[in-house]
């Protein structure tokens, strides 16, 4: 073998080695690219899940806040309704108190009211014997309408008139003036 043949053979071996090295480098590069893409997809998937979980958590927080806000608004409106009802009841109570005070000065109307209250109480109780408690200042008026009230009750329910005893323990006296807050 001469120098030219050796040189060619060396050149051929160099080309072969270089080709093998390039193929091996391509394989390594392709393999690395595939591993990189797989790793990248895994990282992207993990991060996607984290973002999705974070979004769901925040969506739940928003929903809870909405429910709390709705509940607070509902409670506020309920409180307004209750306050309005309370104001109305107090207004009616005050109006009734003033009307009763005015009516207590009208002897004829007051006598009629006491009789109606006695009859109404007898109808509700439906007892054969009743102990009646009134204010000391009303005792004479109550005694004057008692028989008439018993008759009206008996006629209404088609029963015998009950035995009514006026109690010696009295209810509190009437208020001394329209603005009095003492028990009465």
What SS3 state is found at 106? coil
Q: 70-128: per-residue pLDDT in tens?
A: 999 999 999 999 999 999 999 999 898 888 888 888 889 989 999 999 999 999 999 99
Boundary-marking domain end, from 89, 105, 121: 105
Do 141 and 159 lie in a common domain? yes
pLDDT in tens, 2-30: 788 888 888 898 899 999 999 999 999 99
Q: Which ranges in the chain belong to alpha helices (H)?
A: 3-105, 107-125, 139-157
Answer yes or no: do 9 and 92 share one domain.
Answer: yes
Together in a domain, 100 and 111:
no
**Nearest CA among 92, 141, 94 for reference residue 118:** 141
Residue 31 belongs to a domain: yes
């Amino acid at each position: 073998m001469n120098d030219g043949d050796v040189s060619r053979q060396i050149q051929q071996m160099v080309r072969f080695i270089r080709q093998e090295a390039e193929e091996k480098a391509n394989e390594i590069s392709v393999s690395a690219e595939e591993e990189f893409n797989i790793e990248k997809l895994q990282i992207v998937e993990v991060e996607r899940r984290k973002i999705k979980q974070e979004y769901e958590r925040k969506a739940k927080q928003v929903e809870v806040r909405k429910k709390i806000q709705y509940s607070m608004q509902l409670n506020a409106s309920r409180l307004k309704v209750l306050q309005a009802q309370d104001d109305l009841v107090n207004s009616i109570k005050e109006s009734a108190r003033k009307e009763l005070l005015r009516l207590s000065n009208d002897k004829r109307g007051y006598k009629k009211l006491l009789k109606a209250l006695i009859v109404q109480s007898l109808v509700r109780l439906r007892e054969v014997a009743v102990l009646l408690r009134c204010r000391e200042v009303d005792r004479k008026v109550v005694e004057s309408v008692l028989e008439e009230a018993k008759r009206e009750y008996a006629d209404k329910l088609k029963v015998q008139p009950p035995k009514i005893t006026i109690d010696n323990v009295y209810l509190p006296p009437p208020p001394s003036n329209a603005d009095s807050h003492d028990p009465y």
